[in-house]
Amino acid sequence: MTEAKNEKLKVLLFVEDEPDIVTLYKSTFERSGFSVDATDNGTAALERIAAYREKTGELPNVMVFDILLPDKISGMDVLREVRKYAEFDAIPIIMFTNFSSDEFRREIESMKNTRYMLKLEATPKQLVDEIKKMIGS
Amino acid sequence: MSTDFIVFILSVISIGSIAIGFSVYARERTNPANMFFAIFAISAGLWGGFGIIKYYAYVNWDYVPDTLYFTKFATAIIATAFFSLCLFSSSFPQGRLLLSKKMLIGKFILYMAVIVAIFIPGAVIVSDSFIEEGGVVAFQSAIEWGPFYWYLFAPFLFTCFLVGMGQLIKNYREAKDAFQKSQILYVSLGLGLSAGPGLILWFFLPQEYFWVARFSVFIFIALTAYAVLRHKFFTFRTAAAEFFTLVIGIFLFAQTVASFGDWREFAISGGLLVFVGFFGSLLITSVKHEVEHRRKLEEMTKRLTLANEHLEELDAIKSQFLSFASHQVKTPMTIIKGYVSLLQDDVETLSDEEIKDMSGKIRMATDRTISLVNNLLDLRRIEEGQMEYHMDAMDIVPLIRETFEDLRIVAENKKLSFTRELPDEAVSAQVDVIKIRQVFLNLIENALKYTNEGWVDVRLEKESDRTVLFTVRDSGLGMSDDAKKSIFKEIYRDSVVVKAIKGTGFGLYIAKHVVDAHGGEIWAESEGEGKGSAFFVRLPLDHAESVEKKDVVEN
């Protein structure tokens, strides 16, 4: 299953709070050749973004955010923060959630390089395929 | 102006004042303002009434009453009227006496002094009173005042008036709403424009114009009665109907009395009086009826509005519950679907170990879905007050052991140390076996869910002859002080659905409800976030005398 033999592993920032879902998708991403940086809350996710801007953190190749998170900062807040800066435009983001909202869908799809996917409607393989399509590999 | 006419009008005013006094008192008996006003109006009415009785006795029956005694009495009544006027002004419209204690006691002492001074023998206030033979003051006796009339009586009346006026101005300033302000304005207007000038006229006009003061006082009474009664629109309508019927009745009565001797006129007036009495009472009844009807209608509308609001709230809760419930179920379903599709897609490349691991996870997510659905149903029942308990005496040790064993696989999957310590002897308690099992399951499951490494320990121990303590401790995430307080509260009612949906602790809310129904206690302890948690359930032990089966239905 390891496809990225000759190049550096692609880095994926994964923001998800449900431990069982983290276990499932982390192993799936890793099997598909990603190095996964996982965090379970919005505050930590925003800290990651700040670190990328200060060049102290390794810029990921793709980001996957859940919307409903335990503290006051939702995945939508993290997304809005990231999309404020043109330097992250090239990094695809997938909002991967079971929170179904037309309002959020419209907002997400109006952004560059950003997709909205419902967890229950996708299999792990479909998510990985979508990610690969977006990063063009 | 003919004396007869003045007497007639004064009769009407006197009886009218007394009637208004009673009517205002009857409106709101517990309100001191109403009571003081009633005393004032009745006193004013009696004041006029005495003069009239005296006049009739003199004119019709040539009886010369003890005028001095009459006058003393009338003077005492005037003092009483002004004292109550002062008290009324300081308690209108809020219904509490606002006069300072010092002032109140001072006024009371002064009042008592006036009364004593009037009645003690000697010409202290009223020196003499007599009816002038064929004099101009046909119904009013001529009065000679004593020295204290100016030194005590007059100052008392004027201070009552001034204190009352001052208090009204103060109340006006402090009145909360425009409506109270307008009420006070009416009273002040009446007091300022009629009682005040009436007082001055009384003291400074020649005695033959005494009756002017009575007219002016009546204006005050009428205006005040209007202000007092106006605050309840409907009851004012009843009061108006009563009042006008009464006024017409009084006129007719006076006319009937006056025509005594002229039988034809007497019959007509008397007949009219009966007629007005009959139809007047019909009118009053019908107005009261209508008023009551409208009041009921208003009350019903209010109740309906409340019921409607309640329904809307329930509806909102229901739809929040629905989105909460469906979201809760989606999470384990996502896990099941994820692992099943991985198994389908990659079955050839997966090792036996990996397949076993994935099946274990599917099993766990399935269990989680089942207990979730059970919890959701319980939550609904609690909400609707339809949670039913079927209590039986049973040994809870095997129950906990089975629950523990069911969850062993979860602990193994997470590589946690999972231990238990249960008593060897039977521990009998009155429980609803299905519901209490759900509580134990929820607590152990939570501990396993929120512990990523380390251990989970389950134990049951008898505390005394009366209680048993179930404990689940873990080395997991722990919680803050705030969380300890709020975890047993239901969560989906939060106004922000997004936030509410995130809550996963509703199993604890149900657990609390169930444990409460068992007469037990449930609580949590934690040293803080990251330092593990402990959950406790204390249940009463079953005693031999209360073994009989009991079913509890909640409402």
Average pLDDT of B338-367? 88
Q: Do A124 and B449 touch (CB under 8 A)?
A: no
B365 touching A, CB under 8 A? yes
Nearest-CA distance B421 → chain A (Å): 28
Average pLDDT of B498-517? 69
* Per-residue pLDDT at B213: 65
* Per-residue pLDDT at A137: 63
DSSP H stretches of helix in B191-232: 196-204, 210-230
**Res. B176: pLDDT tops 80:** no
Find which of B42-51, B346-355, B465-474 is predicted with most confidence, using mean pLDDT: B465-474
Average pLDDT of B35-64? 77
The answer to whether residues B192 and B205 touch, using CB atoms and an 8 Å cutoff, is: no
* Per-residue pLDDT at B130: 64
Backbone angles phi, psi at B536, to 5 degrees: -125, 140
Read off the pLDDT band of B77 (50, 70, 90).
Answer: confident
Worst-scoring range by mean pLDDT, A129-133, B182-186, B416-420?
A: B182-186
Query: A111-131 in b/e burial notation, b at 16+ Cβ within 10 A?
Result: beebbbbebbebbbbebbebb
From chain A, the residues in CB contact with B342 under 8 A are 24, 28, 123-125
Read off the pLDDT band of B235 (50, 70, 90).
Answer: low
- Considering only CA atoms, which of A28, A132, A48, A70 is closest in space to residue B499? A70
Nearest-CA distance A42 → chain B (Å): 13
Report the C-alpha gap between B387 and B96 in whole angstroms.
Answer: 49
Read off the pLDDT band of B136 (50, 70, 90).
Answer: very low
Q: Extract the residue ranges of chain A whose pLDDT is less than 50.
A: 1-6
* Per-residue pLDDT at B1: 46
Residue of A nearest to B345 (CA): A125
From chain A, the residues in CB contact with B346 under 8 A are 1
Residue of B nearest to A19 (CA): B449
* Per-residue pLDDT at B233: 41
Q: Do B334 and A25 touch (CB under 8 A)?
A: no
**Res. B548: pLDDT tops 50:** no
- pLDDT greater at residue B386 or residue B447: B447
Worst-scoring range by mean pLDDT, A106-110, B148-152, B341-345?
A: B148-152
Q: Report the DSSP beta bridge partners of residue B143.
A: B129
Give the DSSP letter string of B406-469.
Answer: HHHHHHHHTT-EEEEE--SS--EEEE-HHHHHHHHHHHHHHHHHT-SSSEEEEEEEE-SSSEEE
How far from the centroid of its chain's Cα atoms is residue B139's Cα? 53
Nearest-CA distance B326 → chain A (Å): 10
- pLDDT greater at residue B383 or residue B437: B437
From chain B, the residues in CB contact with A16 under 8 A are none
B335 touching A, CB under 8 A? yes
**Res. B420: pLDDT tops 90:** yes
DSSP state of B150: I
* Per-residue pLDDT at B21: 85
Give the DSSP letter string of B234-291.
Answer: HHHHHHHHHHHHHHHHHHHHHHHHHTTT-HHHHHHHHHHHHHHHHHHHHHHHHHHHHH
* Per-residue pLDDT at B230: 58
Read off the pLDDT band of B135 (50, 70, 90).
Answer: very low
* Per-residue pLDDT at B205: 66
In this complex, the residue of B342, B364, B502 whose CB is nearest that of residue A28 is B342
Read off the pLDDT band of B307 (50, 70, 90).
Answer: very high
Q: Do A19 and B330 touch (CB under 8 A)?
A: no
Q: What is the ipTM of this complex?
A: 0.87
| Reported pTM | 0.50
**Res. B242: pLDDT tops 80:** no
Report the C-alpha gap between B405 and B414 in whole angstroms.
Answer: 15
Q: Do B452 and A19 touch (CB under 8 A)?
A: yes
Read off the pLDDT band of B64 (50, 70, 90).
Answer: low
* Per-residue pLDDT at B500: 40
- Exposure of B379 by Cβ count < 10 A (0-12 exposed, 13-18 middle, 19+ buried)? buried
Q: Could you read off the pLDDT of B2-12 as tens digits, one per residue?
A: 566 677 777 87
Report the C-alpha gap between B403 and B399 in whole angstroms.
Answer: 6
* Per-residue pLDDT at B245: 76
* Per-residue pLDDT at B44: 83
**Res. B140: pLDDT tops 60:** no
DSSP H stretches of helix in B92-209: 101-119, 148, 154-174, 178-190, 196-204
Q: Do A99 and B341 touch (CB under 8 A)?
A: no
DSSP H stretches of helix in B494-534: 497-502, 506-517
Mean pLDDT estimate for chain B: 79
**Res. B532: pLDDT tops 80:** yes
